[in-house]
Structure 1
Amino acid sequence: MVKRIILSTLSALSLAACATAVPPVEVTRFHVGDPARSGTISVEELPGNPDVGLEFRTYAAAVEQELLRAGFTGAATGVRSDYVALVAFRRSFRPTGYDEGGRPVSVGVGGAVGSGGYSGLGLGIGINLSGKPKDQVATELQVQIRRRSDSTTIWEGRAVSVAREGTPAAQPGIAAQKLAAALVGGYPGESGRTITVR
């Protein structure tokens, strides 16, 4: 009985750890009025995508999967689609110990003299006892949906997440699925508002 309780407690704790290991995603969307929610669509690379190569397919597949869930239909090979989803992504690395602007975090020193002539000095410093700090990996996904007939952009959005290098959440496959689900999930979403998806 006690063994069963311990095992169920450990399972619950490991599930909670997995849930907190996935970082939140910051999402911003813009669209015209009531954009299309159906029709054929194909996913292509946004011109000027900074990160080209095999990794692009991972992000393109994740976006396509979410667009199909939203109500669009994949275009048959060789058939001109009603809409095109242009996809771009970027991954950047920032060392830990730096603030949002990329500046090193400073060490604070303070001193005071009391009324009795006593003086005090305080020094705050952080020491990492776990070895070399891991870099932070920022991943950004951009998607534009354009009407194929006149190239009008009817919907666009951006999703960004930051995870520690070496964690599952920093892996391209997991990051692509998380970002695409956060960005396209609930399509079309509220225009002009930035939200956090956990």
Structure 2
Amino acid sequence: MHAQPRKLSLVAATAMLAALAGCANPAVTGPVEVTRFVAPAASDRLARGTVFVETAPGSQPDSLALAPYKQAVARELVRLGYREAPRASADQVAQVRVERFATGPEGRRRGPVSVGVGGSTGSYGSSAGVGIGINLGGGPREMIGTRIGVMIRDKRSGATYWEGRAQFSVSDNSRYADTTASAAAVAEALFRDFPGNNGETIEVRVRE
């Protein structure tokens, strides 16, 4: 007769402890660090015509995990003025590569998370926020790092018109630890004020 109320009390206590743990460990969302490169005399060819978004050469085959990042890039390109088209008829191609990884509180990288697409387009600059244990009263959190690189090329000649790289790091209890939210955030930051200044690195704040 008394087993059920006791069970409910235990569930309530567990929920309360979880809520307190959440308060002791607020979500951490770092800024997105963005670097863009613009080819000389390419500005009049950007944000116009047709484009096809694809996985960058040398990366792993397409996967469901990579799809949200390609979709987010495509949305931003359409917003800028491009029209999506099949590869056969597109004027330009946007090649996307992504890496997501977890870093433990001790700063040790634990390996890929959700997406592990190899082949970097180059140095991503500093790794601000990545691999740092965050202690806000409830112990350090595991951090999730995301890096994305996009190259926009002329499909016929292969010439690179534009290249952008973005990275940011969030705690594992941030809503941006989710792949879809992460993809939207990095893509929006990457294409903000497109095409950007050649070689310039900026930081874009993400609202938690």
Residue segments in structure 2 that go unaligned for 5+ positions in a row: 1-26, 109-126
2:93 corresponds to 1:90: no
1:33-62 residue CA offsets vs partner (Å, 9 max, x unmatched): 243220100100002225852111100000
Map residues 107-146 of structure 1 onto 2, 5 A cutoff. 130=138, 133-146=140-153
Moved over 4 A (4+): 99-105, 126-129
Aligned residue in 2 for 1:7: none
Aligned residue in 1 for 2:70: 60
Report if the CA contact (8 A) 2:32-2:168 is conserved. yes
CA distance in 1: counterparts of 2:92 and 2:177, whole angstroms = 31
1:116-166 residue CA offsets vs partner (Å, 9 max, x unmatched): xxxxxxxxxx988636x4311110011000001100011001000100013
Aligned residue in 1 for 2:49: 39
CA distance in 2: counterparts of 1:103 and 1:43, whole angstroms = 30
2:174 corresponds to 1:167: yes
| CA gap 1:52/1:137 in 2 versus in 1, 3 angstroms | farther
**RMSD across aligned positions (CA):** 2.9
TM-score by length of 2: 0.67
Map residues 99-110 of structure 1 onto 2, 5 A cutoff. none
Map residues 11-26 of structure 1 onto 2, 5 A cutoff. 22-26=29-33
Count of matched residue pairs: 157
* Counterpart among 189, 193, 202 of residue 182 in structure 1: 189
TM-score by length of 1: 0.70
Report if the CA contact (8 A) 2:131-2:143 is conserved. no
CA distance in 1: counterparts of 2:174 and 2:180, whole angstroms = 12
CA distance in 2: counterparts of 1:172 and 1:48, whole angstroms = 22
Aligned partner of residue 60 in structure 1, secondary structure: helix
Structure showing greater radius of gyration is 1
Cα deviation, residue 181, structure 1: 0.5
Cα deviation, residue 98, structure 1: 2.8
